[in-house]
Amino acid sequence: MAGFEVRGVSKVYGGATPTETLSNIDLTIEDGEFLSILGPSGCGKSTLLEILAGLQLPTSGEVWFGGAKLKGPGIERGVVFQDPSLYPWRSVAKNVQLGLEMRGVAKGERREDAQRYLDLVGLKGFEHKYPHHLSGGMKQRAGLARALANGPEVLLMDEPFGAVDHLTRLQLQDDLLRIWEAEKKTVVFVTHDVSEAVFLGDRVVLLSPRPGRINRIFQVPQARPRRRDDAGLLKIQNDIYAAIHEVKSSESLEFTI
Amino acid sequence: MGYDGKKRYRWRILIGQVALLLACLGMIEYLVRAEIVGSLYLSKPTQVAEEIYKLFADGEIFHDLLVTLKEFAAGYLLSAFAGIATGMFLVLVPHAENFFRPFLSALLAIPKVTIIPLLMLWLGIGLSHKVAIVFLFCFFTIAFNTITGIKQTAEAHLKVARVFEASKLQTIVKVILPSAAPTIFVSLRVSAATGLVGALFGEMVASKDGLGNLLVQATSLYDTAKAFGIITVVTVVSVLIIGVIDLLEKRVVLKWKSS
- Residue B24's CB: how many other CB atoms inside 10 A? 11
CA distance A146 to chain B (A): 10
A 148-187: CB under 8 A from B: 150
Mean pLDDT of B34-53: 89
- Nearest residue of A to residue B259 by CA position? A132
Q: Average pLDDT of B124-142?
A: 92
- Contact with chain B for residue A128, Cβ under 8 A: no
Determine the Cα–Cα distance for residues A41 and A37; give it in Å rounded to an integer.
12
**What is the distance in angstroms between the Cα of A55 and the nearest Cα belonging to chain B?**
7
- As a whole number, the mean pLDDT across chain B is 90
Beta strand extents in chain B (DSSP E only): none
User: Tell me, what's the ipTM?
Assistant: 0.84
Q: Of residues A108 and B239, which shows the higher confidence score?
A: B239
Distance (Å) from the alpha carbon of B74 to chain A's nearest alpha carbon: 30
Contact criterion met (CB < 8 Å) for B256 and A78: no
pLDDT digits (tens, 9 = 90+) for B58-109: 887 899 999 999 999 999 999 999 999 999 999 888 899 899 989 988 998 9
Decide if A98 and B164 are in contact by the 8 Å CB cutoff: yes
Q: Given CA atoms B152, B154, B158, B161 in this order, what sign does their dihedral have?
A: negative
pLDDT at B259: 42
- Collect all residues of chain B within an 8 Å Cβ-Cβ radius of residue A90: 178, 256
Nearest-neighbour CA in chain B from A97: distance (Å): 11
Alpha carbon A70 to chain centroid, angstroms:
18
Question: For A165-174, which contacts have Cβ atoms below 8 Å and span 24 or more sequence positions?
Answer: A165/A136, A165/A137, A168/A135, A168/A136, A168/A137, A169/A137, A169/A196, A170/A228, A171/A137, A172/A137, A172/A140, A172/A141, A173/A199, A173/A200
Which residues from chain B sit within 8 angstroms of residue A103, using beta carbons? 164-165
* CB contact (8 A) between residue A81 and residue B170: no
pLDDT score for A84: 86
Enumerate the residues of chain B whose CB falls inside 8 A of the CB of residue A130: 255-256
- The dihedral built from the CA positions of residue B197, B200, B204 and B207, taken in this order, carries a sign that is positive
Interface of B with A (CB under 8 A): 154, 156-157, 159-167, 170, 174-175, 178-179, 181, 253, 255-258
pLDDT in tens, chain A (257 residues): 578 888 888 888 877 788 888 888 888 888 889 999 988 877 888 888 999 888 888 888 888 888 888 888 888 888 998 888 999 888 888 899 988 888 888 888 888 888 888 888 888 888 888 888 888 888 888 998 898 888 888 999 998 888 888 888 888 888 888 888 888 888 999 998 888 888 888 899 988 887 888 888 888 888 888 888 888 888 888 888 888 888 766 665 555 44
* Radius of gyration for chain B, computed over Cα atoms and rounded to the nearest angstrom: 23
Provide the pLDDT for residue A211: 82
Taking residues B183-194, report their average pLDDT: 92
| pLDDT tens-place string over residues B205-220 | 888 899 999 999 999 9
- Decide if A89 and B258 are in contact by the 8 Å CB cutoff: no
Q: Count Cβ atoms within 10 A of the Cβ of residue A174 and give its class: 0-12 exposed, 13-18 middle, 19 or more buried.
A: middle
Alpha carbon distance B150, B24 (integer Å) = 46
Name the residue among A73, A102, A146 with its Cβ closest to that of B170: A102
Residues facing residue A156 across a β-bridge: A79, A188
How confident is the model over B20-33, as pLDDT tens digits? 999 999 999 999 98
Q: What is the pLDDT of residue A242?
A: 86
**3 state SS of B204:** helix
pTM of the complete model: 0.79
Which among B159, B164, B167 has the least Cβ separation from residue A75? B164
Give dist(CA A234, CA A5) in Å, integer.
30
Q: Is the pLDDT of residue B2 over 80?
A: no
List the single residue in A55, A132, A150 with the smallest CB-CB distance to B258: A132
Determine, for residues B160 and A85 on separate chains, whether the beta-carbon distance falls below 8 Å: yes
Suggest the residue from B163, B165, B175, B259 to mutate for an interface test with chain A (most A CBs closer than 10 A).
Answer: B163
- Helix, strand, coil % (nearest 5) of chain B? 85, 0, 15
Backbone phi, psi, residue A29, to 5°: -110, 120
Q: How far apart are the first and last CA of chain A?
A: 49
